[in-house]
A and B are shown apart, each in its own frame.
Chain A
């Protein structure tokens, strides 16, 4: 198995005159036997990173090591065919002129296996992805999900140390996506192959990954476990990208060790974990997840008026207006119902709030959330 170490890697695209930085100063250490997700909106550099790891692209700066072996540097790259990796493409890239069997056998034949061995291995791979009986079909006779499995089987059958997956589920419908998600995770556990998975779907990333690398505008924002990136976002970009968040502007009133007391408009006062280096008087944004707010029938220290109610089945979403006019998004259990116009008490779990230094342009965004 193999670990991957990426150091100070950058890549720009473009012509002679206009260079578009696609990736800047990426440092990433990926361990063996892990399911890693590169997560971010389109254009964040995640696919570029994947193609750099695969060897299709030469970095402008920086290096990639697989284990101890240097595979990419600005001076040159080990070509993709010599890396022993596997890759599943967004459009599957299942060769339309080859049958399912021929697609899967391609890599094995290149490795000069005897035809008996090839047959056994293809058979085994087909079983692994539940495609037994379809080996004679051509890709145009398969559904999207089946083509996707052919692509998986084709990459897995050569037993790569590292499997790269470029948004492999994005072309599938919701139900199938859910199922393939489960199968992918199981496959990774069973094979022990390092999976590097690119997606823009944060739910997918949370569900699948051991570690998530959140990327934005060509830069790595945070690298951590799903729990960490969701609950302890490193910055507001991460907080904003990983699900819904209220960003409430406020000011630090006093500091007490690792905790800070913050006052925000609307009479909101809470003590939240203090990020290092943040002193009393600092202007901050408080990031509050909607599910970390409780509503009570009796008005409490903080109260507001329900101005919108959306029933979402497994939960209820409210917009509650604070006395200062600021809106707060709240999610509650669906059986706990309040009417629009009703006065409610608001209880915020301060330990789950994050503080970010205020950015001048952030206000519009915060009130929209």
Chain B
């Protein structure tokens, strides 16, 4: 890095006369060079997107009628409603973390260390579960296990006459089930990559000293991969409690109010901004604490990547037991993928969802949401536009912030890096509250426009852009840029000709990482939308609330189709490498729909 700066300075001092004017550029011209303008712009954008809204959230939580007050915090920490919401969120998070472990770890072990058949299927299951919008899974499960209309419950009650076999999805177990299906990939991906990358020689060294297989697992392998597993559990926890959609769809009918849904209800007329801000900050404290723990665990993960040169661990031959494990994998695949998608497809094609749904198959609901109903039409277009722009902006900003962090010595660049990571700890609804607090006190009327949604999306997902940029920048040797500069290329020219092309695969991967969650974003959108800035996820949620079961399913399938097309396109354009390691996605992720 020091060479990077040195290279630049020496070039500017002794630039060959033939390449530019002999006179060095004036001081003013240097300050306003394109390089500094671009970097300054990126820094300013980060402040508007993240830093200012957070400051206003903080101020809003302690600033009541004309003065400093702790009234909001004291209410948030003493009101029964709020404490109950806090407790419910923690309970949900804890159960989800536990079950994510119970589901994710065996799958990870199976793939990384055994000869279980169908490893491709397991990877597919994990990736699809991670990509599926959790509120759509929730809607699918309501269609199956709703206490009255749920197809399976109705079947047990009306056909078999065994109502006690039914399962009420509107309950904590139901909420945990639906949430785990989205969060177990965090444990799976971190654990499987850790198990795969433990250098085999660590285990072999224990063996040759006389340790049995079992002893080796206990005293060598387990301590080495434990940080990664715990880290996955914490990520599952953080993500689980931030999901507004499933908690609203399943929790509210079951009278399980959680922090996101409680904050949401504070925006019913008359909106209680102060209390919402205080509650949001409490929420942030929990997620930041969990993420902090996760990061310190992850830091110890350097165990696993050490060595690296050694042989891969040998796969364990499970004999007949591999079919048991395979059965377990099939079950997970069935419950997390087949069941929800088959249900949504069936609902979307049925005239009216019920025990005899196959009798009147129709495409009418697709026609309705695509052509007849202007609200859903607009929502689809809005979401497509917003996701495209947000992903592009987030990746571009991320590239510049990453570049500043890695390639320059600007003072405060570490602060920038941290500021760009903060949104990882912000549940979507908290981001929305912060943006509302900020923009309501600005003279520009952004509330209710597409612009504030764009700000929310870019702000929420800028960490993914920065992460993608950092990863690819670290792989590009700075001398590649320096040699362009020494040949006389300007900063912008170098960026355009050398840096960005080399970063391209990484940036496309980052683009996809932002596009996919934005197209299904609900947690922040639900507070920020207006009838003119309707988005896809909000439209699905509103239609669901008003009881349009079948069109909701049609719209859900359209949502999934858009995601599938985006992934396919990005793979093609970005060339190789892209969708191939969505493994890295959750590890980098903090929040979702």
Q: Spell out A's residues near B (CB within 8 Å).
A: 54-56, 79-87, 89-91, 93, 95-97, 106-107, 110-111, 140, 151, 154-155, 158, 164
Which 3 A-B pairs give the minimum distances between C-beta atoms? A107-B209, A93-B201, A93-B205
Whether the pair A90, B208 counts as a contact (CB closer than 8 A) is no
Whether the pair B215, A110 counts as a contact (CB closer than 8 A) is yes
Task: List B residues 263-319 near A (Cβ within 8 Å).
Answer: 302-303, 306-310
Within the complex, the shortest CB–CB distance from B309 to chain A, in Å, comes to: 6
Per DSSP, chain A at the interface is mixed
Residues of A within 8 A of B209 (CB): 81, 86, 106-107, 110, 154-155, 158
Within the complex, the shortest CB–CB distance from A137 to chain B, in Å, comes to: 16
Interface size on B, residues (CB 8 A): 24
Q: Which of B201, B205, B209, B310 has the most CB of A within 10 A?
A: B209
Provided the pairs A81-B210, A86-B209, A110-B209 are in contact, do residues A56 and B309 lie with their beta carbons within 8 angstroms? no
Provided the pairs A80-B204, A110-B215 are in contact, do residues A93 and B310 lie with their beta carbons within 8 angstroms? yes
Q: Which residue of B lies closest to A110 (CB)?
A: B210
Whether the pair A81, B212 counts as a contact (CB closer than 8 A) is yes
Q: Which residue of A lies closest to B203 (CB)?
A: A93
Whether the pair B211, A85 counts as a contact (CB closer than 8 A) is no
Residues of B within 8 A of A154 (CB): 205, 209
Q: Is B206 an interface residue (CB 8 A)?
A: yes
Q: Which residue of B lies closest to A103 (CB)?
A: B205
Residues of A within 8 A of B215 (CB): 110
Whether the pair B204, A97 counts as a contact (CB closer than 8 A) is no
12 contacts between A and B (CB under 8 A): A54-B204, A54-B208, A79-B207, A87-B204, A89-B201, A91-B201, A93-B307, A96-B224, A96-B302, A97-B224, A154-B209, A155-B208
Within the complex, the shortest CB–CB distance from A167 to chain B, in Å, comes to: 10
Q: State in angstroms the CA–CA spacing of A96 and B199 once bound together.
A: 11
Q: Which residue of A lies closest to B308 (CB)?
A: A91
- What sequence of 0s and 1s flags, for each residue 223-238 of chain B, a beta carbon within 8 Å of any chain A beta carbon? 1100000000000000
Task: List B residues 209-262 near A (Cβ within 8 Å).
Answer: 209-212, 215, 219-220, 223-224
Within the complex, the shortest CB–CB distance from B388 to chain A, in Å, comes to: 43
Whether the pair B199, A93 counts as a contact (CB closer than 8 A) is yes
Q: State in angstroms the CA–CA spacing of A4 and B208 once bound together.
A: 17
Within the complex, the shortest CB–CB distance from B218 to chain A, in Å, comes to: 12
Q: Is B167 an interface residue (CB 8 A)?
A: no
Task: List B residues 304-345 near A (Cβ within 8 Å).
Answer: 306-310
Q: Is B439 an interface residue (CB 8 A)?
A: no
Q: Is B47 an interface residue (CB 8 A)?
A: no
Whether the pair A106, B206 counts as a contact (CB closer than 8 A) is yes
Per DSSP, chain B at the interface is helix
Q: Which residue of A lies closest to B224 (CB)?
A: A97
Within the complex, the shortest CB–CB distance from B393 to chain A, in Å, comes to: 39
Q: Which of A84, A86, A107, A164 has the most CB of B within 10 A?
A: A107
Whether the pair B220, A95 counts as a contact (CB closer than 8 A) is yes
Within the complex, the shortest CB–CB distance from A196 to chain B, in Å, comes to: 13
Residues of A within 8 A of B82 (CB): none
Residues of A within 8 A of B544 (CB): none
Residues of A within 8 A of B63 (CB): none
Whether the pair A89, B303 counts as a contact (CB closer than 8 A) is no
Q: State in angstroms the CA–CA spacing of A83 and B307 once bound together.
A: 25
Q: Which residue of B lies closest to A102 (CB)?
A: B219
Whether the pair B223, A81 counts as a contact (CB closer than 8 A) is no
Q: Which residue of B lies closest to A166 (CB)?
A: B201
Residues of B within 8 A of A96 (CB): 224, 302-303, 306
Residues of A within 8 A of B210 (CB): 81-82, 84, 107, 110-111, 158
Q: Given contacts A82-B210, A158-B209, could you give 4 more A-B pairs where the C-beta distance is less than 8 Å?
A: A91-B306, A95-B220, A111-B210, A140-B302
Partner of A81, one of B201, B207, B224: B207
Q: Is B202 an interface residue (CB 8 A)?
A: yes
Residues of B within 8 A of A158 (CB): 209-210
Residues of B within 8 A of A55 (CB): 208
Q: Which residue of B lies closest to A79 (CB)?
A: B207
Whether the pair A95, B205 counts as a contact (CB closer than 8 A) is yes
Whether the pair A90, B310 counts as a contact (CB closer than 8 A) is yes
Task: List B residues 177-213 near A (Cβ within 8 Å).
Answer: 199, 201-202, 204-212
Whether the pair A89, B310 counts as a contact (CB closer than 8 A) is yes
Q: State in angstroms the CA–CA spacing of A80 and B43 once bound together.
A: 58
Q: State in angstroms the CA–CA spacing of A151 and B208 once bound together.
A: 12
Q: Which residue of B lies closest to A85 (CB)?
A: B208
Q: State in angstroms the CA–CA spacing of A68 and B202 once bound together.
A: 30
Q: State in angstroms the CA–CA spacing of A321 and B528 once bound together.
A: 86
